[in-house]
Amino acid sequence: MPTTDRILPGATLGVLGSGQLGRMFAMAATRLGYRVHVYAPEHDAPAADVCWRQTTGAFEDVAAVAEFAASVDVVTLEFENIAAIATETAAKHAPVRPSGEALYIVQDRLREKSFLQQAGVPVTPFAEATTPEQLAAAIEQLGLPAVLKTAAWGYDGKGQSLVRTAEEATAAHAELLGQPAILEGFIDFQCELSMLVARNPAGETATFGPVANDHANHILDVSTFPDPALAPAAADAAEIATTIACQLDAIGLLCVEFFWAKDGRLMVNEIAPRPHNSGHLTIDACRTSQFEQQVRAVCNLPLGSFDPIVGGAAMANLLGDLWQTGTPDWTAVLADPALRLHLYGKTDARVGRKMGHLTAIAEDAATARAAALAGRERLKQLKKS
């Protein structure tokens, strides 16, 4: 049953996880008058700089999680790779949104794909491939090429391989060392896109997108909104994302990632039960950002408007590669009125690690995308000189 209980400004919001998504959530919540208490294993993670309080502890530390949850009015999460015991323990002391049940489904690709299939949602073809026998049967069912993935704990392309032959599949499977695995059919897609959906306990929903996404080395590189080419897929993507949120009974902010196949089919690739990298441009481009929507949703407040306040926007990730010869000269982008710089406060700039992003706003998406890419390129060129 929908609930009308609201958690009003002045309350304390708990977050499991303390990375950049927790940091941006805390910034949005603080602006609305909430206090934010984060719980994470790392003592110096990005959200620690901007939250009211941080508890450092393992997600498996039942006593510490219980003490944390008892100190807040609601618990949300900033990433999905959280031990089930943490959400189970927290739920004994405060509402957990999204719930541990929803998190359980999306933490495992086999469970996630099966849920989507049962919900009648178009999903990429898949089969379990944990054992060599299952792998052989999956290849027979789906054909090659295909993508072999670990069933759990994967992100940014980790734990997955494109396999074109049976020999490649066998070799990649051996490297998984018996971990639960899934084989997914290879999709000849024209575009990858994502859709955000916010949902509160009262049953209200709001969607944003579709956002066009380009990846490099399996990591999101650039997101653009709106992309006129995606207009034919917009209504279906919004409907599917809303269906998933309702079927999961997910409270908070959800991102649904799609493949748009060259033959016109729209298929769900993955679900992220929290704000998403592709939604960062909403901070600068929309009346309500994805992070404020997460705050509103978990507190059962009226959802805000995702309506854009600019003609077009684009986001370009800044990875640790940019720091390898020293700290970038940020004046190169801060002098450009079209650009917005967001840094996450991370001190260890590893190659491939997300350290920040640039958002460009302009009269149209193509101009914004060009500005974001040009701004990032200026940073690279200054490093070379």
Q: What is the CATH number of the domain that holds 35?
A: 3.40.50.20
- Domain end, chosen from 163, 185, 207, is at 185
pLDDT at 4 over 70: no
CB contact at 8 A, 195 and 207: yes
Domain residue limits at 240: 189-384
Whether 301 and 379 map to the same domain: the answer is yes
Rounded to whole angstroms, how far apart are CA atoms 39 and 53? 9
Neighbouring C-beta atoms of residue 148, cutoff 10 Å: 25
pLDDT at 55 over 80: yes
pLDDT at 154 over 80: no
Neighbouring C-beta atoms of residue 295, cutoff 10 Å: 29
Query: Percent of the chain at pLDDT above 70?
Result: 96
Rounded to whole angstroms, how far apart are CA atoms 314 and 277? 12
* Out of 36-45, 181-190, 260-269, 376-385, least confident range: 376-385
Rounded to whole angstroms, how far apart are CA atoms 242 and 200? 12
Q: Which residues neighbour 55 within 8 Å (Cβ) at sequence distance 6 or greater?
A: 37, 38, 39, 40, 64, 67, 68
CB contact at 8 A, 240 and 256: yes
Whether 51 and 157 map to the same domain: the answer is no
Give CA angle at 21 (305, 151), nearest 5°. 110
Q: What's the whole-number mean pLDDT along residues 238-267?
A: 96
Please state whether the predicted TM-score (pTM) of the whole model is above 0.85.
yes
CATH code for position 134: 3.30.1490.20
CATH code for position 246: 3.30.470.20
Residues 364-374 pLDDT 10s: 999 999 999 99
Q: Which residues pair with 126 in a beta bridge?
A: 184
The verdict on residue 5 lying in a domain is: no
Residues 56-68 pLDDT 10s: 999 999 999 999 9
Whether 65 and 162 map to the same domain: the answer is no
Band of residue 43 on the pLDDT scale cut at 50, 70, 90: confident
Q: What's the whole-number mean pLDDT along residues 323-336?
A: 92
The verdict on residue 111 lying in a domain is: no
Q: Which residues pair with 214 in a beta bridge?
A: 222
The verdict on residue 115 lying in a domain is: no
Residues 129-146 pLDDT 10s: 999 999 999 999 999 999
Model pLDDT, residue 384: 55
Whether 56 and 151 map to the same domain: the answer is no
Which parts of the chain are beta strand (E)? 12-16, 35-40, 53-56, 74-77, 126-128, 146-150, 160-163, 181-185, 189-199, 205-216, 219-225, 252-261, 266-272, 312-319, 339-343, 354-362
Band of residue 1 on the pLDDT scale cut at 50, 70, 90: very low
Model pLDDT, residue 3: 60
Whether 177 and 36 map to the same domain: the answer is no
| 379: helix, strand or coil | helix
Cα–Cα distances (Å) from 158 to 107, 161, 185, in that order, read 14, 9, 18
The verdict on residue 112 lying in a domain is: no
Whether 285 and 239 map to the same domain: the answer is yes
What six digits make up the tokens of 5? 């209980």
Model pLDDT, residue 381: 83
Whether 216 and 317 map to the same domain: the answer is yes
Q: Which residues pair with 223 in a beta bridge?
A: 213, 315
Number of structural domains the chain divides into: 3
The verdict on residue 312 lying in a domain is: yes
Rounded to whole angstroms, how far apart are CA atoms 163 and 169? 5
Whether 225 and 333 map to the same domain: the answer is yes
Whether 54 and 177 map to the same domain: the answer is no
Whether 276 and 153 map to the same domain: the answer is no
CB contact at 8 A, 82 and 68: no
